[in-house]
Amino acid sequence: MSMIRVCRRDLEDFCIRVFLALGIPKDEAEDSAKILVAADARGIPSHGVAHLTRYTRGIQAGLIKGGITPTLLRETPVSRVFDAGGAMGMSLSRKSMDWAVSTARKNGIGICSIRNSNHFGIAGYYSEMAARQDMIGMAFSNTAALGVPANARNAFFGTNPIAFAAPADNGRIFSLDMATTTVTRGRVEVAEREGQKIPPGWAVGKDGKTTDDPVSLLEDMLYLRGGGLLPLGGEKAGYKGYGLAVMVDILCSITSGGSFGSEVRDSAVTSARVCHFFLSFALDLFREPGEFKQDLGRMLDALTALPPAEGAEKVYYAGLKSHETEAENNRLGIPVAAGVWETIRIAAEELGVEVPTPRPA
């Protein structure tokens, strides 16, 4: 696959200019650009700037909206519930986790539940916001119905990501960010763009049998014709991912009164209106924060000191590889697939936005 690289600051500025050209307020444009680029920087292109054209179509169609003031539905000293009204999901999510962190600093815990929102990028971005302020953070979102429950043939739940982050000493973070399906739809979209087949165990077609065709799978999932992504654990242990996916839907949609399951549907233009859930709690609810971080650091050291299996270079803990990748990409430039870059370039030129000059990867 042909790749180019773009300086991180240049790529963020470019995305900001695209959002501004679409009429998105400056603060929301900046939040959205940083979160999209963070995905590519961490080696998660399925959630990165490849989504920019989908945002463009969604905003132009009026399905994603800037400048929205969410409706506060319920509030307690430690929690808030919002109807987002179709707001920019990434910016609203950043602000919601900010509120959860500041509330946890005062009251020990902070929780936000949101309905009627939009795509929020990588879940780990928000859980790490809490961890970087010496708190434990969790972030969840439901998505369009793409996942097939154990023993079922049709999709009902989304990829429904789970993110958990906790701070350790020396600036390290344990950062788990995972889908509750075997893979995300974005991974299937990457295979489609690259003209590759998808591996066995990722998905089943509308006939209920394993499929390797990303093109027909994506179309069948969009129109709910049957089939979809397998839950985490695959055909033999999929009940585990299935249960986790439903748990995420309960936290996101049932707490907020939002849409769940097969009610959550993408369109050909943009992603579905979805629900989020953010949680931050202070370390000193349990222990002195320095002691917590030191002990977690010892745990992480013990994990990375384990002898690697044959063929493996080292043992990682959750988040380590993505943070190493981010540091390297900050130095070399953010990698973007050439095909994605060409699509972005065309969309930007239609908006009159100058495109930064990339360099070969």
What is the number of other CB atoms lying within 10 angstroms of the CB of residue 143?
28
Q: What type of residue sits at position 31?
A: D
Q: Of 56-60, 185-189, 286-290, where does mean pLDDT reach its minimum? A: 185-189
pTM for the structure as a whole = 0.94
- Residue 307: DSSP 8-state: P
Q: Alpha carbon 168 to chain centroid distance?
A: 23
The Cα angle at residue 257 between residues 252 and 262, in degrees rounded to 5: 70
Q: At what angle do helices 26-41 and 8-21 cross, to 10 degrees?
A: 140
Is 57 in contact with 118 (CB distance < 8 Å)? no
Q: Encoding tokens for residue 325?
A: 């990748």
Task: Indicate if the pLDDT at residue 269 is higher than 80.
Answer: no
- How confident is the prediction for the chain on average, in pLDDT? 94
Delineate the domains of the chain, giving CATH numbers in brackets: 1-60+319-361 (1.10.1530.10), 68-290 (3.30.1370.60)
Which token pair is 260?
């769940």
pLDDT, tens digit, 9 for 90 and up, residues 195-237: 899 999 899 998 888 999 999 999 988 888 888 999 999 878 9
44 compared with 189, residue with greater pLDDT: 44
Mean pLDDT of 260-279: 89
Instruction: Report, as an integer, the average pLDDT of 36-40.
Output: 98
Tens digit of each residue's pLDDT (9 = 90 or more) over 137-146: 999 999 999 9
Q: What is the C-alpha to C-alpha distance for residues 276 and 258, in angstroms, rounded to an integer?
A: 10
When pLDDT is cut at 50, 70 and 90, the band that residue 190 belongs to is confident
Instruction: Note the pLDDT of residue 1.
Output: 64
Q: What is the pLDDT of residues 76-86, one digit of tens each?
A: 999 999 999 99
Asked if 289 and 283 count as a contact pair (C-beta separation under 8 A), the reply is yes
The token pair that represents 184 in the structure block = 């995300």
